[in-house]
Structure 1
């Protein structure tokens, strides 16, 4: 009898060891793929840049410069975006990037972006694995995490088009999906759900402002339906309590957004004119690493689940199916966007695919794991894992091979002006080059430039573009030659001993609600804001140097400290509840 028991015990031990070896193997394969790609990019010493990649690389450069100066990152961009002090970093949430920038700040700027990009993909894999493995088989969780990270927008942001805010949210997409589902179907006041929701929403609002609105729209629709159809009040209570905590944790973003917006600023482009994706296009335009359409992996998984739908598991499947349906409806022309785009906040969605379809990649994996047994799921996932490896590696080498043949190196020394649609191999010295035009945008500039904004809010007039690109200083209405110097907190212009001027209009945006420190030859002088939103000086004599500096209000620093303490407290409590609570439902 003892021999039989020992045999059974050792057999189980062997099976467990074999399983963990397979899990380790999956993790190792994923890390090797990412490490090799990172090493190649690191040695190349450039990143392939086009479209929004320029935008996000410059944001990192601005944060980097502030940390190197021993300060919290500022609200205005003086190091980048042609040094006009545009409120890009102030209006575009960046706090989730701070830790990643801080720990990589000893690298050169391009190496820093390469490592940040890789860290985000690795975090996506491990956070997804931890979240999924709490509810499903660990080996299957490993396969899902690897396939998810090597496809869709996760792969796209790593490989071709950098979208840092979205990429950070995608790190936590599985925890968000699970927590949203649990809170929508909650039957009591649940502290664990409330705290987790607040913390996850904090990550979202620290990364991308419109994404928190999208998340609340999805949750709002769901809990209203639950209230009307099932008279369930607890989802609303839990969500309201979570929102109270979120208000405290997100104060730094809300505070700077309020102060800058109060000045009167240009919206992000295409406000009130939302581009909608046709329903058929999310399938016909599908790619392995899609952005505005469903990824091929998502379509495969949905087809497998729907064609093999387990009616016995319908109660477990429906909550996730409803979530995917909401994303697809709101992400396409199935929703009445001709009406919605005229409503506040909805008018700033820009593109339905970017805002909704982009987050549709997690739920199909959960549907697969719920619908099939562990063994059946594993067979499907093994095949998809192999396909994911081959396809992602092929996409990487194809894209980078094409770039080496067809894209020029851009280091900032080039004479050619880069057009808004141009792609290049960007070096560190090209990040804040005056030859860029993709970063000359109306977004968040003072309202006074309104007459110079065209093409649905995406383009400035040629004369204003030239004014910004060449940092033209106007003295008594005429351009004068100056040299400029800039830091993360301001810019200075050196003049050739000008005796006097009745007016000097500097190529630096002035926001009415912000207080600037302006000096001429080291002495404080008053300033006004011109009819184009630029800082203007009047009746100045003996001009050698003009310096403009801006630092955020002192209160902002204390708000950051306060919110950080709240986050740490909530995290501590959440971890306590997480350890003492077992998941009773999928």
Structure 2
């Protein structure tokens, strides 16, 4: 390796490290972290997984810790495999805040690296590449995902979206390596967040329909996509097997449905104020990205010259308009399958990946007209300042919502354990589609809880306990140290009296271990193959 190449790679690595630090540290100023409802839901499940790994086990599908201690199944229904970048630091470190900081730092490094893998295939110009990385990393919506919404599943999916786009781009350019990138990207999005995986899949479908109408689709391309789909199966099998096991055997509640749109004027006001608050009506991509989107849209419409970037910016523009409340939607639409999106702001992830690609291709085609070095320096400085400002302002704003937790090393476990948010998200439901716990008052005190068990002390005589027992999950229930017969598919039904001690245990099944091993090995093999299979490019 030439000395100049080595120096440039070292400088690139240092830039990535600095960029990740800029993206992470402002959220931890003052040695605390501002946690929302979603953040609490994610961190308590990560905590249970970390505790299991510390004991050299996989966690059971059922959650004993958190969520009101009603036996929810977030471990099974909400993917956590990609969340290992948060979980492993927690396993290794006694300080939960240092572990959380490292988790976010690794998440930002991962997002930056995956974005760079994409942009380096789009342009050979170093400054253009870095512009793409900055746009995708430092935009306001990405910061919203991580720090104001604490939507860690979506943030992880956001990190892998560039790999999916890269896979498609390579396949469209007849490169076999695209199969591996697409498989890894889609597989890890599925291992992060199911709604994001649906949106990514729909994006691919729409792109392929476009290619059919433009007569660019070939049988070879179809074969490449099918191959990627097949390779995705072992990557996602752990996540999908868990979800299938629960949904096929139980009647469960789904998360709320809706289609809350972004208010165009409120969003614009938020951009001008550099606001990243977790309000769905103001979700935005930031003033810099918004201006860039508008400029490129105008150029694409006015310019008569053909450019490969145009279809990407038009796609970004159309999707962005769909997120706004300027288009009236049918009142019944939120209750259809479309309602699983919940709020249209989720589409901003797609907007940003398309905007990033279009910007790179535009600069590539117009590099003789644009000073890319100056553009890079300007964007890096202004977007870094906006990032620090927006995150710090949100971080320091106290009690802006009833559900807020300000966590530090002293109160970490208590703050993420006590809240009951999420306790009915995947609840067992009856024929009336209502949670079978209903309005039951809790008739017990939690004496002890861990990742695989809970001990309850009964307050008064009862015939049933508000604790879910799902089909397909192994349980062991003991009352006063004696085994009790149970019926799954309902809440725990036992005749108990005041003072009785109930112990409920569950373990991961053999097929949990098998599918986990298959998924992790598949991820490692495909990642290594991407590094060494240069001949497929």
The TM-score bracket by the shorter chain reads 0.7 to 0.9
Alignment of 1:569 onto 2:525: yes
Alignment of 1:298 onto 2:257: no
Following superposition of structure 1 onto structure 2, how do residues 150-549 of structure 1 map, counting pairs within 5 Å? 150-183=138-171, 185-186=172-173, 190-230=175-215, 232-234=217-219, 235-261=221-247, 262-270=249-257, 273-277=258-262, 283=268, 286=271, 288=274, 292-309=283-300, 311=303, 314-325=306-317, 327-328=319-320, 330-332=322-324, 334=327, 341=334, 343-344=336-337, 346-354=338-346, 356-372=347-363, 373-374=366-367, 375-403=370-398, 421-428=402-409, 429-432=411-414, 436-437=418-419, 439-448=421-430, 463-464=439-440, 467=441, 471-473=442-444, 482=445, 484-494=447-457, 504-528=463-487, 533-538=490-495, 544-549=500-505
Query: Which of the pair has the greater relative contact order for Cα pairs under 8 Å at 6+ separation?
Result: 2
8 Å Cα contact 1:46-1:110 kept in structure 2: yes
Find the aligned partners of 1:22 and 1:45 in 2 and give their Cα distance. 29
Structure 1 residue 204, shift from structure 2 partner: 0.1
Find the aligned partners of 1:304 and 1:95 in 2 and give their Cα distance. 39
* Structure (1 or 2) with the larger CA radius of gyration: 1
5+ residue gaps, structure 2: none
Look up the match of 2:58.
72
Structure 1 residue 130, shift from structure 2 partner: 3.8
Find the aligned partners of 1:330 and 1:70 in 2 and give their Cα distance. 47
Structure 1 residue 202, shift from structure 2 partner: 0.9
Look up the match of 1:415.
none
Structure 1 residue 522, shift from structure 2 partner: 2.7
Q: CA RMSD in A?
A: 3.6
8 Å Cα contact 1:23-1:138 kept in structure 2: no
8 Å Cα contact 1:50-1:421 kept in structure 2: no
Find the aligned partners of 2:416 and 2:267 in 1 and give their Cα distance. 38
CA deviations on 1:457-486 (whole Å, 9 max, x unpaired) are xxx97x44xx3xxx423xxxxxxxx55211
Find the aligned partners of 2:83 and 2:229 in 1 and give their Cα distance. 22
Question: TM-score, normalising length from structure 1?
Answer: 0.78
Find the aligned partners of 1:483 and 1:219 in 2 and give their Cα distance. 48
SS at 2:493 equivalent:
strand
SS at 1:508 equivalent:
strand
8 Å Cα contact 1:151-1:289 kept in structure 2: no
Alignment of 1:116 onto 2:103: yes
8 Å Cα contact 1:282-1:294 kept in structure 2: no
Distance 1:33 1:322, change over 3 A: closer
Structure 1 residue 98, shift from structure 2 partner: 1.9
Look up the match of 1:103.
89
Structure 1 residue 87, shift from structure 2 partner: 0.9
Look up the match of 2:119.
132
| Alignment counterpart, residue 93 of structure 1, candidates 58, 70, 79 | 79
Greater than 6 Å deviation, 4+ residue runs: 16-22, 540-543
Number of residue pairs matched? 519
Find the aligned partners of 1:99 and 1:24 in 2 and give their Cα distance. 19
Find the aligned partners of 2:422 and 2:527 in 1 and give their Cα distance. 40
User: Which range moved further: 46-55 or 16-25?
Assistant: 16-25
Distance 1:238 1:50, change over 3 A: same
Find the aligned partners of 1:22 and 1:566 in 2 and give their Cα distance. 32
SS at 1:230 equivalent:
coil
Structure 1 residue 72, shift from structure 2 partner: 1.4
Alignment of 1:142 onto 2:134: no
Structure 1 residue 547, shift from structure 2 partner: 1.1
| Alignment counterpart, residue 70 of structure 2, candidates 79, 84, 89 | 84
CA deviations on 1:139-189 (whole Å, 9 max, x unpaired) are 332343234323223323444331211111222333332323444x355xx
Structure 1 residue 243, shift from structure 2 partner: 1.6
Find the aligned partners of 2:519 and 2:299 in 1 and give their Cα distance. 47
CA deviations on 1:512-538 (whole Å, 9 max, x unpaired) are 3333111223332212369xx421124
8 Å Cα contact 1:276-1:337 kept in structure 2: no
8 Å Cα contact 2:271-2:287 kept in structure 1: yes
Distance 1:302 1:173, change over 3 A: same
Structure 1 residue 393, shift from structure 2 partner: 1.9
Distance 1:248 1:337, change over 3 A: farther
CA deviations on 1:2-54 (whole Å, 9 max, x unpaired) are xxxxxxxxxxx99x89977975774465355357547x54xx44311223222
